[in-house]
Amino acid sequence: MASNTRMVSIFLIFMVFLCTKALSQCEDETNNPCNNKSKALNLKIIGIATILITSIIGVCLPLITRSVPALSPDRSLFVIVKAFASGIILATAFMHVLPDSFDMLRSSCLADNPWHKFPFTGFVAMLSAIFTLMVDSMVTSMYTKKNNAIVAEGSEVVAGDHENAITSGGGMHFHGHHHGQKGPIGQQLLRYRVVAMVLELGIVVHSIVIGLGLGASNDVCTIKPLVAALCFHQMFEGMGLGGCILQAEYKMAKKTVMVFFFSVTTPFGIALGIALSKTYKENSPSALITVGLLNASSAGLLIYMALVDLLAADFMGPKLQGSIKLQIKAYAAVLLGAGGMSLMSKWA
């Protein structure tokens, strides 16, 4: 009887210990030997600068190399590099953003009901992918209708000029109508523009979330590898976005705006995390739910964009369909990009 009582006591003490440990993990981890506020701040400032530079280099590289014949969008090398960058984006969603969301929304710091009773991460990611499809489809339809209206208007003007030339007995002289950004554009170019806008939206959302988590952390042991991984991530993800911006053939002003927003979102997130570090606790229920849901929605968007608008569009396109050899090279590039980004999940 005494031995049974002793076993029950030991079991109760063990359960109390586990509960105390779980609760302490939901609070600010002041006993962590890697926590050093001053060193962490220095590393975060260095991280802002390095991530900003690598982001600018990555997204601008496809744009500034347009004058290089081997890297023009109609060449095979461009297709291979874009496939590599698409693999990076796909792995970012599956290996970084989605697992983080699962961890946050299944955290022991959240109540069992409803967060542990339903797979909110998968549900939100699925809804996000469907919503992205809706936006992708509707925006393309709107652009197409607008473009068709411009084409019809241009045809009427040309027909009117033709009739006037005949009735006036002139020598069939026509006024030229050159359409720029506001004129009719091809269906493929419309798709490129929609893809570039939607992809940037998804990247901007998860970049701010990543930066916020880094900026709010004082764990030196976590910040060092995370900054290195984010530099790699931003460089090649930027190359993928830059390739889409290049194919969209925007004017310089719009290109500049898109490059600017991509480049500054992660550094802005880090700065925001630093500013909110006193009030933002990454293990608090409100932070876990908010960031977890944002990560899930961002993951669904990126998975859709990487698979449908980037990889499937290219691999089912005439260039890759016309060459098995080029397809194999592009698949190797996708696996290399996805594998490299998956490896980064070991440190970040």
Condensed to tens digits (0 to 9), the pLDDT of residues 88-99 reads: 889 988 998 899
Q: How far apart are CA 205 and CA 222, in angstroms?
A: 22
- Whether residue 323 lies inside any domain: the answer is yes
Residue 32: what pLDDT?
61
Q: How far apart are CA 247 and CA 230, in angstroms?
A: 25
Tell me the average pLDDT across 157-165.
Answer: 50
Mean pLDDT of the chain: 80
Residue 5: what pLDDT?
53
Tell me: pLDDT of 114 over 60: yes
Neighbouring CB atoms inside 10 A of 348's CB total 18
- Whether residue 161 lies inside any domain: the answer is no
Kindly indicate the confidence band of residue 44, based on its pLDDT and cuts at 50, 70 and 90. Answer: very high
- Type of residue found at 93: A
- Whether residue 59 lies inside any domain: the answer is yes
314: left (phi over 0), alpha (psi -120 to 50) or beta: alpha
Residue 223: what pLDDT?
84
What domain count does the chain have?
1
Tell me: pLDDT of 15 over 50: no
Nearest to 310 by CA among 205, 222, 202, 232: 202
Residue 227: what pLDDT?
87
Query: Crossing angle, helix 220-248 and helix 187-216, to 10 degrees?
Result: 170
Tell me: pLDDT of 69 over 80: no
ω into residue 119 within 30 of 0, thus cis? no
Condensed to tens digits (0 to 9), the pLDDT of residues 21-30 reads: 444 456 554 4
Residue 29: what pLDDT?
47
Residue 348: what pLDDT?
62
Tell me: pLDDT of 76 over 70: yes
Kindly indicate the confidence band of residue 47, based on its pLDDT and cuts at 50, 70 and 90. Answer: very high
Give exposure, 11-33, as e/b (b: 16+ Cβ within 10 Å).
eeeeeeeeeeeeeeebeebeeee
Do 239 and 60 form a contact (C-beta atoms < 8 A)? no
Kindly indicate the confidence band of residue 155, based on its pLDDT and cuts at 50, 70 and 90. Answer: low
Of the ranges 28-42, 75-89, 204-218, the best mean pLDDT one:
75-89
- Whether residue 177 lies inside any domain: the answer is no
Least confident of 113-127, 224-238, 315-329: 224-238
- Whether residue 104 lies inside any domain: the answer is yes
- Whether residue 131 lies inside any domain: the answer is yes
Tell me the average pLDDT across 12-19.
Answer: 41
Tell me: pLDDT of 9 over 80: no
Residue 51 domain boundaries: 38-150+183-346
Condensed to tens digits (0 to 9), the pLDDT of residues 249-303 reads: 889 999 999 999 999 999 999 999 888 877 777 788 888 888 889 889 888 988 9
Tell me the average pLDDT across 180-184.
Answer: 49
Tell me: pLDDT of 3 over 60: no
Tell me the average pLDDT across 201-225.
Answer: 83
- Whether residue 285 lies inside any domain: the answer is yes
- Whether residue 234 lies inside any domain: the answer is yes
- 112: tokens are 């069992």
Do 223 and 40 form a contact (C-beta atoms < 8 A)? yes
Tell me the average pLDDT across 140-164.
Answer: 65
Residue 180: what pLDDT?
44
Residue 27: what pLDDT?
55
Tokens 């105390």 sit on residue: 20
Tell me the average pLDDT across 311-338.
Answer: 93
Residue 53: what pLDDT?
95
Q: How far apart are CA 285 and CA 270, in angstroms?
A: 21
Q: Is 286 exposed, middle or buried (0-12, 13-18, 19+ CB in 10 A)?
A: exposed
